[in-house]
Amino acid sequence: MQRRRSTPAGLWALRWALTCAIGAIAVGALVAVHVFLLPSAAVPDAFKLTKQREVGYRRKASELSWTQEIAPPQLAKLKISTQKVGSVREGDSGFEKLWKPPSNRYFVPCVAPSSSYLPPTRSRGYLLVHANGGLNQMRAGICDMVAVARLINATLVIPQLDKRSFWQDSSNFSDVFDEEHFIRTLANDVKIVKKLPKELMTTAKAVIHFRSWSGLDYYQDEISRKWDNYEVIKAAKSDSRLANNNLPSDIQKLRCRAFYEALKFSPQIEALGKLLVERMRSYGRYITLHLRYEKDMLAFSGCTYGLTPAESDELARIRENISYWKVKEIDSQEQRDKGYCPLTPKEVGIFLSSLGYPSNTPIYIAAGAIYGGDSHLADLHSRFPILLSKEKLASAEELGPFKDYASQMAALDYIVSVESDVFIPSYSGNMARAVEGHRRFLGHRKTINPDRKALVHLFDMINQGSLKEGKKLSNIITEIHRRRRGSARKRKGPIPGTRGIERFRSEEVFYENPLPDCMCQQQP
């Protein structure tokens, strides 16, 4: 028998090293070609939004998900920094607690009408609506006008969207919402038509600025009398025209059916929104940060903390030149001290770190163009490098049909926000309220509302050197927000001692919390 030749140990080591090196080079080249060198515009078919993938699309069992084929193209190689505060790892009880939703106390959606609720009777006339404001202000106003049409026995004409606001958005109702679904879903509540009949186009109309936060008596008595002289009533504005509370149960449930069921986004928006959610999910659990640090928000609020003198002057000029913004002189420091300013990106970074979220947490930025761009995002990005947005997750081709329309772009952010594991708004505006309410309606998904007044005091202490980031700050911030995580509770009423219009203004907005009107408690 022939004896095998023995191989020196050194030669075996050399072979092993060469094999590992070749394997590493091959894997690295493959990743570089398919991920990091792929231009944003050259998106493979796996990323393209096909016309067939609209609402209700079901993938065939044999069809691969895009997540099985390739990683998202826009995400560059990330450098993950070391977490200094509240470090936790996936699988740890502390990590799981960061994502755990609050108790829903067995509350579930409950919007079906009562047994005494009847289909709409013979209409007395037509209600025209000019919806004003941004996307979510218009959404709330439209749903309120559905209820108003029911109260005054009117046929609702599909509302006109605001085309004269700061955003100069020319979108029509059907560009943003699913018009057919809206009409069909509310057929047993209110008669809805797409246009005013031709014979009434030139007729005299009662143009009315409905009184803010009005109740049943105002609409059924004062407004309904207009039908004696007019066939058409036009609501000049739609925002905050209906009371938050003390309305009949069936009217409150109708508002919820309109908001959460009838007023769906258009199929094209829904399809891309769901694709963005799927792409975010490829990174695991994620936070949506509604970062209100756009030019219009800062100009309107007069909040200039952390900005340069030139930037502050620019915002002041914008505020001065917009006629329908009534308040021109604003004390920025006073606004900030009272908690009336949005948190800056840097402050948000400190806040998230102090809550214990690790630096590799995926964060979706739901916002328009951040004022100052990357220069103002640098501090947040240094703490949390995985900052994503619709512009990073979708190709230019996919965003093309929506990019010039603020309402449609905001609708995409809304979808990703509602579906996120945690939602955090840096400011309590119309979108923040709408998303929080929607998340409550869907089972009280986790929403963390920053206590801006308390946080500003802490941030000032850090700037002054009397407090440092670390365990003490983390404990303080965590305790402050222990009861601000979207748990089930009844909608808050007015602040005690307030009167008149301020009493209504101080109430929690109806669409911010649909409990108790639209949620019922089941037995465990």
Neighbours of 467 (CB within 10 A): 16
**% of residues, the chain, pLDDT over 90:** 79
Task: Provide the token pair at 372.
Answer: 């100052």
- CA gap 362, 74 in Å, rounded: 14
pTM of the predicted protein model:
0.84
| First-to-final CA distance of the chain | 79
Q: How many alpha carbons fall within 13 Å on the CB side of residue 153? A: 12
Block residue for tokens 């900030």: 336
Q: How many alpha carbons fall within 13 Å on the CB side of residue 12? A: 4
For 100, list phi and psi in degrees, rounded to 5.
Answer: -65, 125
The pLDDT of residue 255 is 98
Average pLDDT over every residue of 328-346: 96
Angle at alpha carbon of residue 430, lines to 323 and 196, rounded to 5°: 75
Residue 425: asked if its preceding bond is cis (omega within 30°), the reply is no
Q: Are 509 and 239 in contact (CB under 8 A)?
A: no
The pLDDT of residue 19 is 54
pLDDT greater at residue 245 or residue 70: 245
The pLDDT of residue 22 is 52
Name which of 231, 226, 234 is nearest 208 in CA terms: 234
Taking only Cα atoms into account, the Rg of the chain, rounded to an integer number of angstroms, comes to 27
Residue 47: pLDDT band with limits 50, 70, 90? very low
H-assigned helices in 400-488:
406-419, 430-441, 452-464, 471-480
Residue 45: pLDDT band with limits 50, 70, 90? very low
Supply the mean pLDDT for the chain: 87
The pLDDT of residue 15 is 54
Sequential DSSP letters for 105-131: TTEEE--PPPTT---------EEEEB-
Does the pLDDT value for residue 53 go beyond 80? Answer: no
How confident is the model over 410-450, as pLDDT tens digits?
999 999 999 999 999 999 999 999 999 999 999 999 999 99
Neighbours of 300 (CB within 10 A): 18
For 210, list phi and psi in degrees, rounded to 5.
Answer: -55, 140
Name which of 282, 299, 318, 332 is nearest 67 in CA terms: 282
Residue 62: pLDDT band with limits 50, 70, 90? very low
- CA gap 378, 390 in Å, rounded: 19
7 phi-psi bin (left φ>0, alpha ψ -120 to 50, beta other): beta
Average pLDDT over every residue of 449-460: 98
Element (H, E) at 366: strand 363-366
Does the pLDDT value for residue 63 go beyond 80? Answer: no
- CA gap 189, 37 in Å, rounded: 54
Please tell me whether residue 464 adopts helix, strand or coil conformation. helix
What is the DSSP code (8-state) at residue 261?
A: I
- CA gap 151, 129 in Å, rounded: 15
pLDDT greater at residue 508 or residue 68: 508
- CA gap 57, 37 in Å, rounded: 31
The pLDDT of residue 523 is 86
Average pLDDT over every residue of 439-463: 98
Does the pLDDT value for residue 163 go beyond 80? Answer: yes
Block residue for tokens 């070749």: 22
pLDDT greater at residue 412 or residue 27: 412
The pLDDT of residue 17 is 52
Edge-to-edge strand ranges of the sheet holding 155-157: 192-193, 155-157, 126-129, 232-235, 206-208
Task: Provide the token pair at 438.
Answer: 């929607």
